[in-house]
Amino acid sequence: MRKRTLARTGMLCALCLTALGACGSRAPSSQTDIQTTEPPASPESNQETEETTDMKEEQQNQNEYGALFEDLKLTASYKGLTQTNPIMTQRFGADPYAMVYNDRVYFYMTADAFEYDAEGNILENSYSKIHSINVVSTADMVNFTDHGSIQAASADGAATWANNSWAPAAAWKEIDGKDKFFLYFADAGGGIGVLTADSPTGPFTDPLGKGLITRETPNCSDVLWLFDPAVLVDDDGKAYLYFGGGVPEGKVSDPGTARVVQLGEDMISIVGEPVRLDVPYLFEDSGIHKANGKYYYTYCSNWQVDEAGTAQYGFHNAEIVSLESDDPMGPFTFKETILENPGKYCGLYGNNHHCVFCFRGNWYITYHSRVLEKAMGVEHGYRCTCVDSFLMQEDGTIGKIRQTFSGLEQLSSVDPYLVNRGANMAVMGGVECIPADAGSLATGCGNMALSGIETGDFVVVKGVDFGDVAPTKWSAWLRSSREQAGVIQLRADKPDGDILGYLPVDQASPEFTEFTADLDRAVTGVHDLYLIFYGEGYELDTWQFVR
């Protein structure tokens, strides 16, 4: 990486003369209080000092940069500036599964992506072209880091024998003194594969060269859909895999297609034969969690729940249901309904898929809905991931979890004095995420950078704690294809909040290079940080404030 420190020299005056087009509409302002302080004024003097000369030049350049952002309209974000859900809008993500590791939660999702006809019209999601698994993570449940996509299936993926990679489930376990990571996925409805890695984001490899669960697996030949895995690593180190789904003709109330099997110590083999679970009105979507010594198998009810089923159990079509047991292998008994179909709230119904998990003492459910495609004006079955919290009672009761757009409480602040990834954000408009280094470029997953930047695009990082001493500079590692690419404006708390400074991108750089600029306004305390972009032809890898 090369480093270049930039002074404010007015090198972007040429940009000031050109007004680039902006798309979308200005997002509503946040109501967060601003607690910023102005830098101290220069001492008066009869003779102009070097300091006052620099301040005049600074003010002149600030006015020039500020002119670029006057009346600028922010690109559409597809969610409100104060909303958590959906957790990302730069891509879709379905069938989410959460894995907690080293004070972070990693979300693995089916990589829904638009399918098009020959004329460029968006088609109904067929799911048949999904070969990868999207990954994001968070430390605070508000800002989410995009890690790209694991190339799981097809000739170009890790599992070349598989046609698809749906509904992932992830777990980690210490084996031979080293943490190992395991990613289970469905090859459509025909079996379960497993990939392994030394990191939550890979690179993942296929240790078996075939499915872990197939039609040849004992007691699985009559399971209509061999898919939707869930995995539990118990307190004693033993692990269990749950899977299955589908409704055989005439077996609506008791499909008999759910299975559980113990995994071997290596997590890539099974112990004994899969066991049938008696799951009323099962459709799909196995889930498993443990609380207060009890095991909870959760799943999506089918679309044929009749009056008798509702009268007996209280649930309706495609709702998330909870069963309880004293043993991870069952048998399980009915407990309650915990999540209604998201279509009830967004108006677009679809299959219901979830994962229940605990992080830093708080309980959450992640699930998918169709709110993102609805915001985009599309209604063709493309799903996005949401997260909401709930209280787990001592007896394991959850109740019906409230689905929200506002989402979650931030668990910890962002440290601006560390190197922060540009692809870590709470809200964004317009930007894309691309591989940032050779490793992520080779596998599709790892460190990602912001790309596709155009005037009006932006990202918001929630809850940045500047502390009691204000920073004086801001650095960003940027890659630029042109000499005078644009400017990044920093604001506090809202799109029209106090301007902290500007960073001109005024040098072509084929590699990510450190660009640094002085801040125009001192800031302390906790604030939301807005990065608003002008121009195009540049990409952002990481950023950092300096005292």
Angle (CA) 518 524 527, round 5°: 100
Cα–Cα distance between 466 and 25 in angstroms, integer?
A: 30
Cα–Cα distance between 289 and 98 in angstroms, integer?
A: 11
Active-site residue, from 95, 457, 514, 518: 95
Phi, psi of 59 (to 5 degrees): -65, -40
Active site residue 284: yes
Name the one residue in this structure whose structure tokens are 């070969």. Answer: 131
Q: How many CB atoms lie within 10 A of CB 189?
A: 17
Look up residue 48 and give its amino acid.
Answer: E
Contact status, residue 346 vs residue 370, Cβ threshold 8 Å: yes
Contact status, residue 431 vs residue 539, Cβ threshold 8 Å: no
Name the one residue in this structure whose structure tokens are 């679970």. Answer: 277
Phi, psi of 194 (to 5 degrees): -140, 135
153: DSSP letter: B
Distance of CA 314 to the CA centre of its chain: 33
Cα–Cα distance between 402 and 389 in angstroms, integer?
A: 8
Q: Give how far Cα 217 sits from Cα of 131, 244, 284, Å.
A: 24, 13, 19
Residue 491 has which token pair? 């604001």
Active-site residue, from 140, 206, 284, 528: 284
Active site residue 179: no
Q: State the pairing for strand pair 424-425/144-151.
A: antiparallel
Residue 432 burial class via C-beta count within 10 angstroms: exposed 0-12, middle 13-18, buried 19 and up:
middle
Question: Could you give the maximum distance between any two Cα atoms of the chain, in Å?
Answer: 96
Cα–Cα distance between 532 and 497 in angstroms, integer?
A: 12
317: DSSP letter: T
Catalytic residue positions, numbered: 95, 284
